[in-house]
Amino acid sequence: MHKIQGIAVSPGVAIAEALVIDSEGFRIPRRFIARGAATEELARLDVAISAAGAEIEQHRDTVAQQLGQHYGAIFDAHLQMLRDSRLRAELIEMVRDRHYSPEYAVSRTLRRYAKVFQSLDSTFLAERATDIFDIEKRLLRHLLGQRREEVAHLSSPVIVLAHNLTPSETAGLDRKFVRGFATEVGGPGSHTAIVAEGMGIPAVVGVGSFLTDVSGGDLVILDGEEGLIILQPDEETVARYRHEAEQSRSQAARLESLNDLPTETLDGVRIELFGNIEFPAEVQQCQERQADGIGLYRTEFLYLNAETEPDEAVHFDAYSNVIRAMQGKQVCIRTLDLGADKVARLSPPEDERNPVLGLRSIRLSLRNLEMFRIQLRAILRASALGSVRIMFPLISTMMELRQARMVLTDVMEDLDESGVAFDRNMPVGMMVEVPSAVLMLDRFVEEVDFISIGTNDLIQYTLAVDRANKDVAGLYNAADPAVLRQIESSIAVARQANIPVNCCGQMSGSTVYTMLLLGLGLRQFSVPPGAMHEVKRVIRCVTIEQCQALARRVMALENAREIKSLLKEEVKRVAPELFS
Ligand code: PEP
Ligand code: MG
């Protein structure tokens, strides 16, 4: 049994066979072959080695012709490694005597060689590891010829273990069979993590290098609460986790009874609880849980998996389905927030050094006015169907907000001229997720109808910590006092200006922060549908006065760890059943 710690990003426990996908998207199959299959499998290995060799020779000749003999020599070195008799003997032994599949033998052996090179002191030799990985990929390509698209077409339950999954790959996972996933890279606030939570798939990211320790078909436990991956678990551990999974299923069933109860504190203050959605299917969950509306409708999904740029009809269809499903309840549509880790297939980004600080979100929309106008037209047309509001993401200057509003007014005039119906009074709001917006909020509130605090980005930009990078994940902390002060001040400014303030970052869906946010004056929460019950449960167990007292204590502290443990202690005290 081997336990590996990663970052918990989507709750739940999964126990299933591993489906391993390496960094290039190859699916590493089962470790073993059938007993009588060695001859056939060795023949397959031979064919793959010959084909890879021929391919390398061809590359060598082309490169030598175009760039000179010297460059072609790199491929000679690859050929030598590929045709090394010791390597071949080792592979044959693994397949013939130990019944390993050729893919597994190739991967295991070459990665072991690469590790040896990587551990050497010489930079020159360490860099040779890259050559070995190159040979591994080449051989696997010939052996497998299959890529990760397969993850969308499965026939039995699996836990996907991958080097990385982009948000669109995550969105494309076959929900019926993917019980969970873990990735070597990725951070706590990545869009992949958010998509996983939205899809209700337990997930752990930022595990670090571990794919060489596991092979397809191995039994794996994924603990999305603690951020653990357990490889080759013993029977006792499997039994314990099965029991836990069972308990959390019955806990979830118990919490269903909250659906019909009002979201209000013990002292009778009504709190509005909205849902965050990205995929149309999440709307159903919001309805079942009697959400007050949709507080954040992320529209990126329209682009993430699209082969072609979505036109106005595609936008309109998606919005109108959600609006109709919500039957008159508020739906807040956020304009496109593409860029950074939300990269659409159709527009591969230029080589940005700092995509998080680059051309993303509203900046991208304002640079692509045609695309922006299409979306605005669709939102406006959809506004005639229900209670719709529009929200601009990542606003960092007044100019940006004014530009966005100008384009919106322009599109409204166009619609007017063509006699198309829309809600002329559709509320216009902005996300507060950049410190510059917090600092200037007293001015912004004069020009918007509402604000929504986006803590995922606010944490990232306040602390200068990439939300998708595992290496700095420990620094990405919602409990940091600098983050909390910004939230406190944003709520205060909005309340003073008498405009609604919502909080739609992942933080608002974590019960650890519910009491604090209430104490700071927040009366609207927008949370992932899966978090709605638990947040509601906490709201119904507390008084505003109690939360205000807690907020005062928290805001006097200066250490994130102390703050978090105080908050955890309090929520466990008021709602112990959520933690049993
Ligand atoms: C946020 O930044 O908190 C937010 C809700 O937006 P996203 O996670 O989509 O960037
Ligand atoms: Mg954001």
393 CA distance to ligand 2 middle (Å)? 7
The CATH classification number of 261-579 equals: 3.20.20.60
Nearest C-alpha to atom 3 of ligand 1 is from which residue? 454
Name the residue among 375, 462, 448, 439 with its Cα closest to residue 411: 375
Give me the pLDDT at residue 114, please. Answer: 80
CATH of 35-149, picked from 1.10.3720.10, 2.30.40.10, 3.90.870.10, 1.10.274.10, is: 1.10.274.10
User: For residues 325 and 277, is the Cβ–Cβ distance under 8 A?
Assistant: no
Helices (H), 175-274: 191-199, 235-255
Q: How far apart are CA 501 and CA 438, in angstroms?
A: 13
Give me the pLDDT at residue 149, please. Answer: 47
Q: How far apart are CA 75 and CA 79, in angstroms?
A: 6
pTM of the model: 0.82
Q: How far apart are CA 506 and CA 396, in angstroms?
A: 20
Which residue among 342, 362, 433 has the greatest number of ligand 1 atoms within 8 angstroms of its CB, and so is best to mutate?
433
One-character DSSP codes across 54-101: HHHHHHHHHHHHHH-HHHHHHHHHHHHHHT-HHHHHHHHHHHHTT-B-
Q: Could you tell me the mean pLDDT of each successive run of 10 residues in the chain, 580 residues long?
A: 95 93 66 85 92 86 73 79 92 92 87 79 71 83 65 82 86 88 93 89 94 84 96 95 91 92 98 93 92 97 84 96 97 94 64 86 95 98 98 98 98 98 98 98 98 98 96 96 98 98 97 98 97 97 98 98 98 92
Q: Is 505 in the pocket of ligand 1 (CB under 6 A)?
A: yes
Name the residue among 348, 51, 11, 25 with its Cα closest to residue 164: 25
Specify the ligand 1 atom closest to the Cα of 505.
3
| Three-state helix/strand/coil letters over 359-414 | CCHHHHHHHCHHHHHHHHHHHHHHHCCCCEEEEECCCCCHHHHHHHHHHHHHHHHH
Contacts of 386 (CB under 8 A, 6+ apart): 323, 324, 326, 327, 328, 329, 331
Shortest-distance ligand to the CA of residue 509: 1
Specify the ligand 1 atom closest to the Cα of 506.
3
191 flagged as catalytic = yes
Q: Which 3 state secondary structure label does DSSP give 561?
A: helix
Q: Please report, as a single letter, which amino acid is at residue 203.
A: A
Q: Please state, in angstroms and as integers, the Cα–Cα distance from residue 560 to each residue in 115, 225, 484, 557, following that order.
A: 38, 20, 10, 8
User: For residues 216 and 31, is the Cβ–Cβ distance under 8 A?
Assistant: yes
One-character DSSP codes across 23-49: TTSPEE-BSB--GGGHHHHHHHHHHHH
Q: Which two tokens stand for residue 254?
A: 């118990």
Give me the pLDDT at residue 345, please. Answer: 56
Q: How far apart are CA 49 and CA 4, in angstroms?
A: 34
Q: Which two tokens stand for residue 447?
A: 């020009």
Q: How far apart are CA 256 and CA 249, in angstroms?
A: 11
Residue with token string 């109690």: 546
CATH of 2-17+151-250, picked from 3.50.30.10, 3.40.50.300, 3.30.70.1350, 3.20.20.20, is: 3.50.30.10
Domain boundaries, the chain: 2-17+151-250, 35-149, 261-579
**Choice among 78, 142, 163, 191 that is catalytic:** 191
Q: How far apart are CA 449 and CA 391, in angstroms?
A: 10
